[in-house]
């Protein structure tokens, strides 16, 4: 049924820290690996070793340059996957009932056996979270690794989405965002977690933690305590270069 | 948005076909026998042909029956139901007109209402998309309905109605272009809101997540061909609206009627191509594109 549940018992989702993400793309690779070998149709590639490679990914990392009014520009790496919106527009447009949002945990999933591959859900998503698989001809999206997080065959430490498990800089956190006492909710409260495109009215569950203010080395006077020891010992070239310098000066 | 030929053909041809069905359903013209057969055959060829063209857009058309189940929430599902119901009701009505020379008036009006409903549901598939500000306007269903009725009147030989509806559709088309050119800015979605980084400074896409193309860029960030948008708008307006009206104003001759139909279809195909090619999806902002 593609009508949305009136409420969900939990809101499982991700909190992504834009301050600590180093843009290594490990989450992209681990996501592709896990989701190619497990739940649903594999994430195919087209012409992977040819001149025009392309493929299906559920998680991608953009990089942005942010230029403040004064001071140095800042580079922000920006992982983006399904935000498992409370008011998911991708679900309600689905004509077949293949797209659905689960009442028990809020995860947005696609029943690939019912997907006709019309692509309308990808049009409805403002975040580009859904990609049609060109081999299976069905819509693929982040499942929040639904086949890991409830999987009793895995050690408990592995029962988180593959992207969270693999992140070397701890920039991705997984938990229940409906519980104000959960680690992720506290992180969102402490760091001012934000919604992407709030004006679209999607009410995303996933939150993004903004980058912390950068040190301003150009404006702090006390940063160079070692500077006297680092002063150049000589600023006059010697030997051949010294001769060349003097010779050129005389010209 | 990617201007898929199957979708452009579907929305243009089936819009005309369902428009013709509206006029046939309300008995304008109320012809019977072989003349009615030709009218209904044209309407079915256009509406049915359009539906078949749209099926080529699907990844799994063999699961198409499921598309009739989600009418509670999905405009696409509602469109599928309306389209099939129209074709079924109008088929029964056509039997009366073609073979029995009788006019089952209530059935005809029901068919006409369903045909209008089909065009409306088609237009709402686009008008509901908050992600494509150019489409999200009440002008979108207004334009689709007026075009369908005007083109249908042209095919049905209802010259006086066509002379009212086609100029009206032309005005709606101009209004739709005018508001569409301002819609993205008015939507308030920017790179700053997309990334949430606007509070720090001005945001610029530094490096995309992938070096090649992907589904999102191919489907939603189609920027090729917008270069000729102004010329194509002129072509669409002249062929789709001005020329057909001028031909209808000439002393009546069947060849002028045929030329008016051909010109109208060519113009509307150009306009529909622009409808997709010019539509900017907000996901392009993540790539620093429109």
For chain A, the structural domain boundaries read: 12-209
d(CA B168, CA B145): 11
CA–CA min distance A98, chain B (Å): 9
- Pairwise CB contact (< 8 Å): A131 & B216: yes
- A1: pLDDT strictly greater than 80: no
The stretch A162-189 carries a mean pLDDT of 96
Cβ-contact A222, A216 below 8 angstroms:
no
- Pairwise CB contact (< 8 Å): B201 & A64: no
The stretch A229-245 carries a mean pLDDT of 77
| Residue A220 pLDDT level (bands cut at 50, 70, 90) | low
- Site from B3, B68, B192, B216 to mutate, A interface, most A CB atoms within 10 angstroms: B216
- A217: pLDDT strictly greater than 70: no
d(CA A66, CA B46): 52
Residues of A in Cβ contact (< 8 Å) with B57: 118-119
Residues of B in Cβ contact (< 8 Å) with A200: 130-131, 189, 282
Q: Under CATH, to which class is B5-199+211-287 assigned?
A: mainly alpha
User: What torsion, rounded to 10 degrees, do the Cα atoms B98, B104, B110, B113 define?
Assistant: 60
| Residue B290 pLDDT level (bands cut at 50, 70, 90) | confident
Lookup: tokens for B196: 């949430």
- A131: pLDDT strictly greater than 80: yes
| Residue A218 pLDDT level (bands cut at 50, 70, 90) | low
Share of residues in chain A with pLDDT > 90 (%) = 76
- Pairwise CB contact (< 8 Å): A96 & B220: no
pLDDT for res A223 = 60
pLDDT for res A7 = 87
The stretch B11-19 carries a mean pLDDT of 92
- Pairwise CB contact (< 8 Å): A210 & B204: no
Residues of A in Cβ contact (< 8 Å) with B194: 126, 196-197
- Pairwise CB contact (< 8 Å): B283 & A119: no
A68-110: pLDDT as tens digits: 988 888 999 999 999 999 999 999 999 999 999 999 999 999 9
- B263: pLDDT strictly greater than 70: yes
Residue count of chain B: 290
For residue A67, give the H/E element and its range.
strand A59-67
How do the domains of chain B map onto residue ranges? 5-199+211-287
| Residue B76 pLDDT level (bands cut at 50, 70, 90) | very high
pLDDT for res B147 = 95
Cβ-contact A112, A16 below 8 angstroms:
no
- CA-nearest residue to A213 within chain B is B200
pLDDT for res A104 = 93
Question: Of A36, A66, A65, A61, which Cα lies nearest the Cα of A48?
Answer: A36
pLDDT for res B117 = 96
CA–CA min distance A150, chain B (Å): 29
CA–CA min distance B90, chain A (Å): 24
- Count contacts between A and B (CB, < 8 Å): 194
- Pairwise CB contact (< 8 Å): B215 & A126: no
The stretch B213-231 carries a mean pLDDT of 83
- B33: pLDDT strictly greater than 90: no
- CA-nearest residue to B195 within chain A is A196
The stretch B151-169 carries a mean pLDDT of 93
Which one of B57, B73, B193 has the shortest CB-CB distance to A199?
B193
CATH, domain range A12-209: 3.30.70.20
Which one of A60, A67, A76 has the shortest CB-CB distance to B209?
A60
Tell me, what's the ipTM? 0.91
- Low-confidence winner among A23-27, A142-146, B76-80, B254-258 (lowest mean pLDDT): B254-258
- Pairwise CB contact (< 8 Å): B197 & A76: yes
Whole-angstrom CA distances from B240 to A83, B159, B266, B267 are 43, 16, 7, 4
pLDDT for res B112 = 96
Which one of A28, A132, A198 has the shortest CB-CB distance to B215?
A132
pLDDT for res B216 = 92
- Site from B64, B131, B136 to mutate, A interface, most A CB atoms within 10 angstroms: B131
- Pairwise CB contact (< 8 Å): B197 & A62: no
Which one of B80, B197, B213 has the shortest CB-CB distance to A95?
B80
A43-68: pLDDT as tens digits: 999 999 999 999 999 999 999 999 99
* Mean predicted lDDT score pLDDT of chain A: 91
Residue A21 sits at φ, ψ, to 5 deg, of -60, 130
d(CA B271, CA B172): 12
- B56: pLDDT strictly greater than 90: no
- A21: pLDDT strictly greater than 80: yes
Which one of A63, A208, A211 has the shortest CB-CB distance to B200?
A211
Which one of A60, A63, A124 has the shortest CB-CB distance to B131?
A124
The stretch A139-149 carries a mean pLDDT of 95
CA–CA min distance A218, chain B (Å): 17
């Amino acid at each position: 049924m593609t009508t949305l549940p009136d409420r969900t018992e939990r809101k499982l989702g991700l909190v992504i820290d834009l301050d600590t993400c180093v843009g290594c793309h490990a989450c992209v690779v681990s996501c592709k690996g896990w989701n190619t070998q497990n739940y649903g149709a594999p994430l195919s590639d087209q012409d992977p070793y040819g001149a025009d490679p392309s493929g299906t990914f559920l998680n991608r990392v953009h990089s942005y340059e942010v230029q403040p009014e004064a001071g140095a520009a800042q580079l922000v790496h920006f992982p983006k996957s399904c935000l498992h919106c409370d008011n998911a527009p991708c679900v309600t447009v689905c004509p077949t009932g293949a797209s659905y949002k689960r009442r028990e945990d809020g995860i947005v999933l696609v029943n690939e056996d019912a997907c006709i591959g019309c692509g309308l859900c990808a049009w409805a998503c403002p975040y580009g979270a859904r990609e049609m698989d060109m081999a299976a001809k069905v819509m693929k999206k982040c499942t929040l690794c639904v086949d890991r997080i409830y999987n009793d065959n895995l050690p408990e430490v592995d029962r988180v989405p593959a992207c969270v498990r693999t992140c070397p800089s701890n920039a991705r956190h997984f938990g229940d965002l409906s519980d104000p006492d959960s680690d992720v909710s506290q992180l969102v409260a402490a760091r001012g977690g934000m919604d992407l495109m709030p004006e679209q009215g999607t009410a995303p569950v996933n939150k993004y933690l903004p980058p912390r203010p950068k040190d301003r080395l150009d404006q702090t006077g006390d940063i160079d305590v070692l500077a006297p020891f680092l002063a150049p010992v000589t600023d006059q070239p010697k030997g051949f270069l010294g001769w060349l310098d003097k010779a050129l000066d005389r010209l | 948005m990617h201007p898929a030929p199957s979708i452009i053909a579907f929305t243009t041809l089936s819009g005309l076909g369902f428009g013709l069905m509206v006029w046939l359903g309300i008995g304008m013209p109320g012809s019977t026998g072989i003349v009615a057969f030709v009218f209904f055959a044209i309407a079915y060829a256009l509406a049915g042909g359009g539906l078949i063209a749209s099926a080529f857009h699907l990844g799994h058309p063999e699961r198409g029956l499921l598309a009739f189940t989600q009418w509670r929430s999905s405009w696409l599902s509602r469109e599928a139901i309306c389209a099939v119901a129209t074709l079924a009701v109008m088929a029964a009505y056509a039997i009366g007109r073609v073979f029995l020379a009788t006019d089952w008036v209530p059935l005809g009006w029901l068919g006409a209402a369903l045909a209008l409903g089909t065009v409306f549901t088609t237009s709402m598939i686009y008008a509901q998309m908050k992600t494509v500000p150019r489409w999200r306007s009440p002008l979108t269903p207004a334009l689709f309905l007026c075009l369908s009725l005007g083109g249908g009147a042209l095919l049905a030989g209802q010259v006086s109605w066509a002379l009212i509806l086609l100029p009206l559709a032309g005005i709606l088309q101009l209004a739709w272009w005018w508001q569409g050119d301002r819609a993205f800015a008015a939507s308030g979605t920017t790179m700053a809101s997309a990334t949430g980084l606007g509070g720090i400074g001005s945001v610029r896409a530094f490096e995309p997540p992938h070096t090649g193309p992907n589904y999102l860029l191919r489907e939603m960030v189609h920027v090729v061909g917008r270069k000729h948008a102004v010329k194509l708008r002129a072509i669409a307006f002249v062929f789709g609206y001005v020329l057909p009206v001028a031909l209808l104003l000439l002393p009546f001759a069947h060849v002028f009627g045929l030329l008016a139909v051909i010109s109208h279809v060519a113009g509307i195909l150009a306009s529909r191509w622009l409808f997709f090619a010019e539509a900017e999806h907000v996901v392009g902002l993540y790539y620093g594109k429109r």
